[in-house]
Structure 1
Amino acid sequence: MGLAAVLTACSGPGGTPGDPPAAIEGAWQSTGYGYVFDIARDGAGKTRLTSYDRTSGSCLGGDSLTPVGREGDATSFGEDGEAELVVRRRGDQLIVQEPGAVGHIRMSRLEELPDCPSAVSGNAADRRLQAFDVFWQNLAEHYPPYPHRKLDGSGRERDRAALAENNTDRMLGKLLGDTVRELGDMHTGVEGEDLSLYGRRPGTRESDDMDTDALRPAIEARLGKKLEPVIDDKVEYAGGLPGHLGYLRITQFDDFADESYDVDRKKFGQALDTVFAVAERDGWRGLVLDLRLNHGGFDGLSLALASRLTDTSHFAFQKRARSTREASGFTPYEKLRVSPSDRPGFHGPIALLVSDLTVSAGETAVMALLNRSPKPVLIGRPTQGVFSDQLSRTLPNGWSLDLGNEDYRNAAGESFEGRGIPVPREFRTPVFTATEIGRRCDAAIARALDHLADNPPGTTPSCPRGST
């Protein structure tokens, strides 16, 4: 049973969960991820999952969750009726999955709970030093040595001395902010009161800074068609293009309805039903799939899209997590596959539009789609290069740290973290430049239409007639 089915089925009548099996009770420690779980019954006899974030030098309290659903040996834990974790016993391990994630966290039983939680100083200056130390412990133990992005810890002691000398929130924010900016990783950053500092690959743009509505006129002008919204401006399409082609634009893989993955999954599935029913009715012979501006979201939904675009099961990608306890420095690879959906889809040629604004789950969708047949052609610019799920930590001073701790690779073992998925030179085009937007031009769509129609490049002009 997949995660989506587990989340749907876990609630009993009226949403009341069953009693979790005793087999999951006890203290558990994850391989990678730095989690410790204490699953026990409270004074009222109710099961509660208390999580801790553990490093070699700290063990800080995380969430306290209660059962919100049950199906067989799978128990969903969360708050306010919403599942945040699904756990089940497999042999001597606990298998954990987060809603919308496609990988699993494996945990081994501990004889007893470690010294958790560790003490947090009541002195603000000491807490800042503790926050600095926990920040670096997490990066050192969980941030992977990516081929194209490296953590430089050479200035750690120097920075700690600078903080000890000038112990203020401003100095701490500067030191931690400098570190995450140097990484250039949009998934790694620090947040606090009036503070939000994340990295970005040099020479690229921030997808959140782009106005989706401002891009639409250029797209519609080049297509010669108005976009039909299915989920607001998040899923839009156009049919009736010359040569029986269709166009589908997806700007994110989450937040379609609320913060519930299960509701998002249902609404996204219905949106794809609508689009691909039109594709079947109108006999689309090719599809322009536009992920040039895609903020990411749930990998589960990126693979749901891929499942609509294949009639044959195929490899998607493989992922592993940083684990300093393993000889390899990582957990074993988990290999993910795409299985064909029995719901409406499209199995013909695809021109896949991407850019530096294609981020995270947008990129896992691209990685998965590159293994379909016929293989899509990539058009635009290289993607951003941030694939890992975010590992979130609360620092002793109340700030939070997000970091990427996973390593995603294709079937050949290539990593695109920090460099993005490349676009063949002959298919590189400008993407959402100020000039293009101002003149209502779209070189990527023009190139895609020519490719799918087997026309020479340049047959379709980038700018519609009358643009200046």
Structure 2
Amino acid sequence: MRIVTATVAALAFAAMAVPAATLAPPRSPVTDGVWRTDGYGTLLVLGQGGLRQYQTTSVSCIEGDSARQTGPGSYTTSDGTVLTVRTGRDDDHARIAEDGSVGHRELTRIRTLPDDCGRPAPKDPRAGFDALWQTFEENYPFFGRKGVDWHAVRDRYRPQVHRNTTGPELFGIFSRMLKPLYDVHVTVEDGERDFFEVRPGTEPPSEELDDRAKRFIEARDLKDATHRQDFAEGHITYADLRDDLGYLRISAFDHFAGDDAPYTAHRTELDRALDTVLTPSRTRRLKGLIIDLRVNDGGYDALGIRTAGRLTDTPYTAYAKRVRNDPADHTRHTRPEPVPVVPADAPRYTGPIAVLTGGSTVSAGETFTQALFDRTGRTVRIGRPTQGVFSDPLTRSLPGDMFFTLPNEEYLTRTGRTFDGTGIPPDLTEPVFTEEEFAKNRDSAFDRAVAVLRAPG
């Protein structure tokens, strides 16, 4: 998932009002009914030609987004995202998958919606505060890791909220109470106001930083390169370096076909770029490949997995994904679901790789970095630790125009480790786009990568 505010992110379900008169007749009666997700604090109502979402906690139930049915067990949101529901071991268990996400959400059928889901959500600012606080209380896994006493946060800030608290005032309270988490996937948006906080000592991957880094790399690192080409709206760059080395820069795993395009269009553009770069002759010739993720604002995890499939001849597990699923215990999770990397049915490069990372490597840029841990070819990470946010953001709405997001998932290595908060560390530490590096026309991480890939063995 990329670092953006809630209303424009590639979210779990894109907002879409579906008038009853336009809904097609049900096509999948087996999946019609009311379902509870394992984790995520979500109820789904399937039927009458559509899907409706309800965002729940022990103190709230707010109607969320919806989608129209476009096939048996398939639902499409207004932005073209396809949600697929399939029954499991029996008709009371199912799974839902979303375009661009990895893994599935487990569903259990329930008899009916809770009574409070049929009532309008209260608009009192105190109810909004309670819904946000309780959503974090029941879903956020990292309070211990961040050293935050969430109950003390409630005791400090709830008395500041009263029935006449304005939207801007409530936004300010939320911003102050969430800042100590230093979690880019914790966001609040209220109209033109938005909040997020990066890990201290890091810089978010902005357009300005991306443009500056790209110009610097082209002028310094690629000045003698050949066959340089941009793809995917400029988010992917490839160039041949001397001594049969290659350079591949990926600044996002999204936006490849424009900001409003569906996942399938981005996937097509990624395939076009990789097919052009990883030709049979080049994959045979290359002795090393630099993959530059130092400014990468995330996107679709599935596109990272798809890219990893072009870098191996051997199937392996990228990582396992689990979600917090006990509202009363932040240490309880679902059973980890392995996410496989399958060699692509296309030319593949399997030689040595140097991955460049830094604090502006975020979300899907980090899950892609993690997906290369266990590839069979030699892989070395150079630069600085990544940002330390991996989960798809869980998106919630409040009365008015306010939205907020939080992570509730963990991505586990083969040994059960996660890198949330700290980021993935490099194997070789080098400065990344510091003012001193720019001033002295120096790119230590790139130069180290070239030296490593040129070295024997």
TM-score w.r.t. the length of structure 2 is 0.88
What is the alpha-carbon distance in structure 1 between the residues aligned to residue 216 and residue 159 of structure 2? 52
**Residue of structure 2 in register with 1:251 after alignment:** 251
**Which amino acid counterpart does residue 127 of structure 2 have in structure 1?**
Q
Alignment correspondent of 2:111: 111
Residues 189-212 of structure 1: CA deviation (Å, up to 9, x unaligned):
110123101121111111125432
Q: How does 1:421-460 map to 2 (within 5 A)?
A: 421-424=424-427, 427-454=428-455
Question: Cα distance 1:147–1:198, how it changes in 2: closer, same or farther (>3 A)?
Answer: same
Aligned partners of 2:384 and 2:430 also within 8 Å = yes
The structural deviation recorded for 1:97 is 1.1
Q: Distance in 2 between matches of 1:406 and 1:35?
A: 14
Larger RCO (alpha carbons 8 Å, 6+ apart) = 2
Q: 1:341 aligns with which of 321, 328, 344?
A: 344
Q: CA deviation at 1:182?
A: 0.9
Cα RMSD of the aligned pairs, angstroms, is: 2.3
Please point out which of 134, 140, 146 is paired with 1:137.
134
Structure 1 counterpart of 2:253, one-letter code: F
Is 1:219–1:440's contact at 8 Å kept on the other side of the alignment? Answer: no
In 2: Cα distance, 1:280 partner to 1:18 partner: 52
Say which SS state the counterpart of residue 161 (structure 2) adopts.
helix
Partner of 2:287: 285
| Deviation at residue 39 of structure 1 after TM alignment | 1.5
Query: Residue 394 of structure 1 is aligned with which of 384, 397, 411?
Result: 397
How far 1:444 moved relative to its partner?
0.9
Q: What is the match of residue 167 of structure 2?
A: 169
User: What is the SS of the residue equivalent to 1:113?
Assistant: coil
Question: 1:356 offset after TM fit, Å?
Answer: 0.6
CA distance in 1, matches of 2:281, 2:369: 21
Aligned residue in 1 for 2:18: none
Written as runs of structure 1 = structure 2, the 5 A alignment for 1:146-225 is 148-153=145-150, 154-164=152-162, 167-208=165-206, 210-220=208-218, 221-223=220-222, 224-225=224-225
Alignment-derived partner of residue 6 in structure 1: none
Q: Is 2:387 the counterpart of 1:384?
A: yes
Mapping 1:93-108, distance limit 5 Å: 93-108=93-108
Q: What is the distance in 2 between the residues matched to 1:387 and 1:281?
A: 30
Q: Is the 8 A contact 1:272 1:344 kept in 2?
A: no
Unaligned runs of 5+ in 2: 1-22
Tell me the matched-pair count: 425
Within 5 A, what are the aligned runs for 1:355-370?
Answer: 355-370=358-373
- Structure 1 length normalisation: TM-score? 0.86
- Contact 1:85–1:99 under 8 Å retained in 2: yes
Q: Distance in 1 between matches of 2:145 and 2:366?
A: 16
- Deviation digits for residues 119-169 of structure 1 (CA, Å, limit 9, x no counterpart): 3335xxx2x111111000100001013663344311203311111287222
Cα distance between partner residues in 2 of 1:166 and 1:157: 19
Deviations 1:426-462 (A, max 9, x none): x211111123234432111110110001079xxxxxx
Q: Which digits, 9 at most, give the CA deviation of each residue in 1:388-422, with x for residues without a partner? A: 00100001233101110101111111110000001
How far did residue 378 of structure 1 move?
Answer: 0.5
In 2, the alpha carbon distance for the partners of 1:409 and 1:309 equals 21
Q: 1:26 aligns with which of 25, 28, 33?
A: 33
Give, in whole Å, the separation in 1 of the partners of 2:59 and 2:232.
46
Name 1:7's counterpart in structure 2. Answer: none
Contact 1:296/1:358 (<8 A) preserved: yes
1:320 aligns to what?
Answer: 322
Out of 32, 47, 62, the position equivalent to 1:40 is 47
Task: Report the identity percentage.
Answer: 37
Structure with greater Cα Rg: 1
- CA–CA separation in structure 2 for the residues paired with 1:238 and 1:293: 17
AA aligned opposite 1:207: P
Q: Corresponding residue for 1:9?
A: none
Counterpart position of 2:421: 418
Aligned to 2:231: 230
Instruction: Give distance in 1, aligned partners of 2:26 and 2:400.
Output: 36
Partners in 1 of 2:326 and 2:34 — Cα distance?
20
Q: Alpha-carbon deviation of 1:87?
A: 1.2
Q: CA deviation at 1:330?
A: 1.3
Distance in 2, matches of 1:309 and 1:326, equals 42
User: Structure 1: 5+ residue runs without aligned partners?
Assistant: 1-15, 42-46, 457-468
Q: Which residue of 2 aligns with 1:459?
A: none
